[in-house]
Amino acid sequence: MSICVVVADSSKARILVAESGNSPLVDERDYIHPESRLREQDLVSDGSGSESDSGGFGKHSMGHEKAAHQKQAETFAHELCDEIDKLRRTSDLHRIYLVASPKFLGLLRSGISKQCAELLAGEVNRDLVDHSIEDIRSHLPKRL
C-alpha cells in the first residue's frame, strides 16, 4: 500500500509517495501549468492593440484579468484531480494528503473524485510546493 502527498499551487504540483506510514517521502511526479504563469494581459488580450475607447478613457479589464487567472487555476486543479484519480486506479493507493494554499486547496477539494475523497487522510493549508521534502514532511503527521 502506498501513500500519496499532493503538494500544489495554481501553477505547479508535486506528487510525493511513501510506501508506508513510516517510509520517507520520494518525489514521484512534477506537473507544471504554464498558462497559470502567463501575465494577466497575455491571458485576456483581445488582439485589437487599442487601449482607449471612444470616450478617450483607458479600458480597464482588471475583472477579466483576475477571472482569467482564476479560470487557469480551476483548469489546473481539475487536471491535477484527474491525475490523482488515475494514480488511485493504477496503484495500490491507501491514503492521500493534500498540501496547498487556501484558495487552491479549496479548488482541489471541490474537484477531487468521491473515491479519492474517501482516501483523503489530511490536508495542510500552506503553500509548500517549492519547499524541500524534509520541510513538507515536517507539516504532515508523524505517521502517515
Q: Report yes or no on 50 lying in a domain.
A: no
pLDDT digits (tens, 9 = 90+) for 42-74: 444 444 444 444 444 444 445 555 787 788 899
Q: Report yes or no on 54 lying in a domain.
A: no
Q: Report yes or no on 48 lying in a domain.
A: no
Q: What is the domain range of residue 6?
A: 2-43+61-138
Residue 23 CA: distances (Å) to CA of 74, 77, 84, 99, 116: 32, 27, 20, 18, 21
Entry pTM: 0.79
The CATH number of whichever domain residue 81 belongs to comes to 3.30.420.60
Q: Report yes or no on 87 lying in a domain.
A: yes
Number of domains comprising the chain: 1
Q: Report yes or no on 29 lying in a domain.
A: yes
pLDDT digits (tens, 9 = 90+) for 70-125: 888 999 999 999 999 999 999 889 999 999 999 999 999 999 999 999 999 999 99
